Each structure stands twice: as structure tokens, then as C-alpha cells.
Structure 1
Amino acid sequence: MLSASAFNWTPEVIRAERDAADIAVGIVADGVADSIEVEAGQVWRSFPTPTDAEVDALRERLREVGGVVTIVGGSIDDWATTARRRTTDERLAFLAPQLRAASRLGARGVRVPYGQAGAELLQQVQPLLADLGIVLYEEIQGQQTLDVDAVLANLEVLRRLDDPHVRVLVDISMLMPSLPPSYLDELRAGGVDAHLLDRLEHEWLAPGTHDAVVATLREGRVPAAVHTLFMNLLVRFGRSSVADIEPLLPLTTGVHLKFWDLDDADGRVSQPIADIGAALRRVGFTGTLTSEWGGHEWLDADAAVMTRAHLDLARTALATASVSA
């Protein structure tokens, strides 16, 4: 199933000229996609305990225009106060209403960050997931890699559970052969060092480039105007290959086809899609593939135009990889 994420419309949600639920329904009504992924915190004012009335209203409005929700972006708030961490029971109580809302909405499941739940909470939530018939997706993305102890340990937890209701969602921001030109333009305009920019443009995958990024940050050489944007280099942009994440794929039932801009020179946008598509075909993948645009952080562009174009590009890339979308 090839879907579109309502996250792509976040700047419009922030402007609040239309209700977030109106925006989500509009994605389907305008023919961008007939299946969408939504963020619970955007579409339901009653989040983190969505009311039946709000959930039912969104479900019925989507049904009227021929749309469905694939995955709901959820949350686990680990802290009751700034000084007290929630117990496992309290964390489950925070998450459970979101799971029930997703089930009522007709979604396949709820997405949370990879590894955040932990073994104890996963074991406690399994009966509820089974009862509701939905999946808890653990999303791995960006610079997360399987050579980190905590990431690998969580993979072992998922393997031991061996539960189809607890699965992985891979964001292909992990698989970036090069950086988005529009992003580099923003750093350049913001005054980032020209030598570092040259390395970022031509040597993104080289280990020394990461070291140079860290050194620039520690030495206070990142201009204040682009400091937040610069942090994407340490968090949101990955250097993995499909081979690196192969151990995750048998447990993967969701994929974010993350894109930042549509400059596909040298296949920087399409090749990761084709690569993950071919790999998923080998393991018999039957989940959701979702177009998710992260570049609205710095690009002032129309979300519908960007998403339509990316979905077209994704279909072509997946067809190249002999994957039916």
C-alpha cells in the first residue's frame, strides 16, 4: 500500500488557517492519495486520550471521500514531571488510549520511536494489541544504526517476542547516498564554512565527514541562524546501506519513503526507494509504504505538489525494483 503522510502538511497545520483534520481529509478529497498516515497530536485535540467522538468524526469524514488511515503517529511520554519518570504501568496507561483510538479509526497500528518502549512495556502491551488487532510499529530512522548496542539489543527483544503485533517501521532517511541540494543551499546562505560544505556535498558517506561535523559544532563554528538546521546532520540524515539494515527487514511491516526535496540527480531520491523495495520483495514484505516529506523545515513549497510528485517518483522507482505499489 502506497500512502501519503499528513506530516507533509505540518507547516499548514502550524498556520492553523484550516483545522488539522480538514487538512488530513483534504489529502484524500484532493486525490493526492486514498490512504494516509496521520499524527495523533495533530488531528485530535483530545490527544493523548482521543475521545470517541473525535475519532469517529475523522473516520467517517475519510470514509465519505474514500480514504483510510494506515498508521497513527503516537507517543510514549516517559516523564510524569520533570523529576519523576513514569512507571511501566503509567507508560502503558498513556499509550493504551492511543492504541484504542487507532483501532477505532480503522488504522493498522500506532507508530512510536524505535527502542523507546522497552521489553517490559512491550510484554505488557501485547495482550491489548492482540485484542485490538493492531500493530505497534517501532520506527528507526536517520543516524540510528545496528552497530549501536542499544539498537541491537532492542532488535533482540523484538526477535524474542516474535509477535506480528510488534513490528519495525524503517524510515529511509537511514539510506541517504548524498545530502539534499536545497539543504546545502540553506547552510551556505546561513554562513556555514565553505570547506565543510564541500565535504558535505562531495563526501557525505565518508566517516571523516561526520567527525568534521562534530568538530564544527563543538568548536562553536555553526552560525546561530542555522544552528537548529545544522543538527539534522547529527540526527536526521543517515549513512547506512540496505545491507546494513538487512537484519531488520524480516520484522519490517512499514516504511517511510522519506524525502527532503525532489532533486534526483544521481538517484539521490529514487535509488534508496528502489534499493529498499528490492530488499523488501526478497523477504515477502506486505506492509505500507508512505511518502513522508521532511524538507518543509526549510523549503517553502506546496505540500500537495511535492507529495504528488514524490509518489509518482516512488511508483517508478518501485516498478524498477519489480515491486508492485
Structure 2
Amino acid sequence: MSIMLGNTLYSMTNEWLAGQYDLGSLIDEVGKRGLGPGIEIIGFQSLRGFPNRVSDEEIKTLRDAIDRNGLVPTSLASNADIALRADQWMDADRSVEYMRPQIELAERLGFPVVRTQIGLTPEVLEKVEPIAAKAGVKLGMEVHAPEGPNTPKVIATREAYDRIGSEYLGFVPDFSSCMRAIPVGMLDKLRRDGLSEAGIESLKRAWEAPGAPFQRYGRFAAECGELGEPELPVGFARLVFTMFGRENLEDWRDVLPQVVHIHGKFYDVDDDLTSPSIDYESIMKVFSELDRTVSMSSEWEGHAYLDADEESAFDMVAKHHAMCSRFLGEGGVARV
């Protein structure tokens, strides 16, 4: 079938934090630039008082902005926040009650999908599924680096889904799981923070090596100690091992039947409409095998290491749309 392109407001984190837009004007800018039709928001980022104390005025602002720009609500990103307390994990019953208002607000706002996180255990998923079913909202577990479709925690979730057997439980693939290179922008930031070229080469070797993410980071950090690298960039480089996954992109086929939304994570798009860090041509081939239309949010996360004056998120999302359209072809992009 096809993919409906769109955008998550998370892409515009720098512009949002800089106070350049309020919620209505940010959505207006997305609409003006043609970065829809899909629109995704991050509950705790976009809505003051989320999820229990969002005012009627803010709800109206959001819905009016979506409507006047002809956009289509695709996903409301929730948080599991199982480590809110430093002394203990959130238990199953508390997790259910933490998720309940987020799901119910998604129904009120007209979002068909709630992005959930890997912190929700199979026990919580079984208890929260009736809430989602009552609201008519699908829960999409985000499969994000360093996880992948076949890592242990995701396998456990897949097994829980098979046992529960509900159409309201699915996945949100995030392409950070299967990257082919560390983004140049991240390497440049580490250089600016003082990491030497020897340190950069050490980082690349560790990232490309087999093993668990923090094992690879540990080897890198130990080598940097021997090289005398400064602590700041070595510490920041932890993100390389948690944000940029090395899973096999072909494994996405294993979860295609349960995909309810997609995070088109990206960091860079060249002038020839390819991404040096993520093999979008191959990924789009896999997702073109979907048997139905699924929405995808362009999710630029270069703001993790770039400031708003270094790169426009709006321009990056436009380039991402152009790249995805190139690889999907005319028939592979849904028109609304």
C-alpha cells in the first residue's frame, strides 16, 4: 500500500524551546510549509498540564490549528516514566493509572494512536489494553535505539501481544534502531568539545564493533582514558551508543503486520536526497511491503547536538519528505 507522510512537533524542539512559536503558530508554520498531512505531538512537550490538567482553551487551540491547516492527527506521544521515583520502579497498577489519562486525552483530541515506551511490561500492557479499546485508540510501542524488532525486551512485548490478541496493541518503528553511520554533525560537536581525531576513530571502532551498547561505550571510554581525552566529550559520546542503533533493518519485516505508526527518525539529508547515517532507500523498500496505508512522522533529532541557528528543523523535514517520496515513488505516498 502506501505511507502517509507527516511531521512530529518534536522535530522543532529547538525552535520551541527558543520561544519562537506557541502551539498554534508552530502548527501553522508546519501547515504553511506543507510538512503534513500527518501531525504528531509530544504530550509532555506540547501541552501544559499534560495529561490531567490540559485546559479547554489549549485543547481548542490545538484542534483549531490542526483543522485550519488541513492536517491529520496521527499520534500522541505518551511517556511511561517508570523511573519517576529514584528509589523504586513504578509498579504495574500505578503504570496503568499513569497511562490512563494519556490514552483518554488522545481520544478527546482525536489522535488514533498513542506512542508508548518499552518501559511498559507485558503485565501493564494486558491491563491497559481495555482502556485503549474503550477509547478506540491504538497503543504503539516505540521500537527505538538501542532496541530493535528482535531484541529481548521487544520479543517479550511481541509475545505479550500474541497472547492478548488485540487490534489495539501495535508497534511504532523508529529508524534510529538501524543506522549505518554516526551522523557527521554529532562527530563535529564532539570535536568542538575537545575530542581528538584519535578519539573520533576510537569512537567509530567501538560503535561498529559487536556487543551491547554500554559494553562498547565502556571500551571506548577506557581507550579515551589511555589517550588522555577530556571528560566532557567522552561523557557526551554515551548518546552515540544509545541513540544510534546497529540492528538489522531487514528485521522490520517481522513486525510489519503490527505497525500502527512510524517514526521516520533522521539526522541528515544530503543535496542528492540520501541520508549518510540511515539507509533510507533500503528501509523504504521494506516498509513499501505494508498491506495498508500507515502514517509516518518525519522526526529530525539533530537538535540533540545542533542549535536552532545552525539548522532549520523545517528545512530538514522538507528535505526528508523529498527523500522519502523519492524512494517510495509516486504510488507509495498516500495523498489526503
Fold shared per TM-score above 0.5: yes
Deviation at 1:178, TM superposition (A): 1.6
Whether the 8 Å contact between 2:122 and 2:156 is mirrored in structure 1 is no
Q: How many pairs align?
A: 323
Deviation at 1:220, TM superposition (A): 6.0
Whether the 8 Å contact between 2:24 and 2:65 is mirrored in structure 1 is no
Whether the 8 Å contact between 1:139 and 1:170 is mirrored in structure 2 is yes
Secondary structure of the residue aligned to 2:189 is: helix
User: 319, 324, 336: which is aligned to 1:309?
Assistant: 319
2:132 and 2:212 map into 1 onto residues whose CA distance is 42
Matched, 1:128 2:137: no
**Structure 2 partner of 1:77:** 81
**Structure 2 partner of 1:89:** 93
**Structure 2 partner of 1:152:** 155
Secondary structure of the residue aligned to 1:244 is: helix
More relative contact order in 1 or in 2 (CA 8 Å, sep 6+)? Answer: 2
**Structure 2 partner of 1:11:** 14
**Structure 2 partner of 1:60:** 64
Whether the 8 Å contact between 1:50 and 1:97 is mirrored in structure 2 is no
Of stretches 87-96 and 264-273 in structure 1, the one that deviates more from structure 2 is 264-273
User: 307, 311, 332: which is aligned to 1:323?
Assistant: 332
**Structure 2 partner of 1:276:** 283
User: 243, 260, 263: which is aligned to 2:270?
Assistant: 263
1:160 and 1:285 map into 2 onto residues whose CA distance is 24
2:105 and 2:212 map into 1 onto residues whose CA distance is 44
Deviation at 1:196, TM superposition (A): 4.4
Unaligned 5+ segments in structure 2 are none
Matched, 1:161 2:171: no
**Structure 2 partner of 1:98:** 102
Unaligned 5+ segments in structure 1 are none
Read off the aligned partner of 1:308 and give its amino acid letter: A
Whether the 8 Å contact between 2:23 and 2:62 is mirrored in structure 1 is no
Whether the 8 Å contact between 1:24 and 1:38 is mirrored in structure 2 is no
Identity within the alignment, %: 25
Whether the 8 Å contact between 2:43 and 2:77 is mirrored in structure 1 is yes
**Structure 2 partner of 1:32:** 35
Deviation at 1:6, TM superposition (A): 0.5
- CA separation of 1:305/1:52 partners in 2, compared to 1, >3 Å: closer, same or farther? same
Read off the aligned partner of 1:247 and give its amino acid letter: D
Read off the aligned partner of 2:313 and give its amino acid letter: A
Matched, 1:246 2:253: yes
1:118 and 1:248 map into 2 onto residues whose CA distance is 18
Q: Counterparts of 1:155-234 in structure 2 under 5 Å?
A: 155-198=158-201, 205-207=208-210, 213-218=217-222, 221=225, 223-227=230-234, 229-234=236-241
1:136 and 1:295 map into 2 onto residues whose CA distance is 26
Whether the 8 Å contact between 2:178 and 2:278 is mirrored in structure 1 is no
Secondary structure of the residue aligned to 2:141 is: strand
- CA separation of 1:50/1:71 partners in 2, compared to 1, >3 Å: closer, same or farther? farther
Deviation at 1:258, TM superposition (A): 1.0
1:266 and 1:64 map into 2 onto residues whose CA distance is 30
TM-score (norm 1): 0.87
Whether the 8 Å contact between 1:271 and 1:317 is mirrored in structure 2 is no
1:172 and 1:285 map into 2 onto residues whose CA distance is 19
Secondary structure of the residue aligned to 1:77 is: coil
1:213 and 1:293 map into 2 onto residues whose CA distance is 24
> RMSD value over aligned CA atoms?
2.8
Read off the aligned partner of 1:108 and give its amino acid letter: P
